[in-house]
Amino acid sequence: MSDELSLPLAEIARSLGDGKLAEQAIANHERFGATLMAYSQWTPEHARKCADAAFAVGSRAGSLQGIPTSIKDLYAVAGFPTYAGSPRRLPPKFEVEGPVVANLRRHLATVMGKTHMVEFAFGGTGQNAH
């Protein structure tokens, strides 16, 4: 991991300006993703679009601007189906973004994808047969 990634979040955000942190996160996923299997939906193309949009505004939107962010599959994110760890997609009424994701978007965080989870967040072992 580079020294840049060990800095406090606010310093990382101040040093951004070209979306390179998203590219570093994508490269790390390409190196370790198959081993870690953290994502149920991994979309580097979407992440690049988010990073580009975060800096196209030409102003600072807060400390999350351009920061690679992963969303648990329990939460709805526009453009991503929601499964909540189950094998079947949830009905559309459960795919409306809530305040947490809306706030991340408002602050121009870079959405990298959606992460795996225990089915319907019911369980303490972290295991999911699906």
Residue 129 lies in a domain: no
What pLDDT, on a 0 to 100 scale, did the predictor assign at position 65? 85
Instruction: Encode pLDDT of 55-84 as tens digits.
Output: 887 777 777 888 889 999 999 999 899 999
Report how many domains make up the chain.
Answer: 1
Of all residues in the chain, the percent with pLDDT exceeding 70 is 85
Domain membership flag for residue 64? yes
86 lies in some domain: yes
pTM of the model: 0.74
Residues 6+ apart with CB under 8 A from 92: none
What digits encode the pLDDT tens for the residues 8-41?
776 766 666 556 788 888 998 999 988 888 888 8
Query: For residue 59, what are the contacts with CB-CB under 8 A and spacing of at least 6?
Result: none
Residue 128 lies in a domain: no
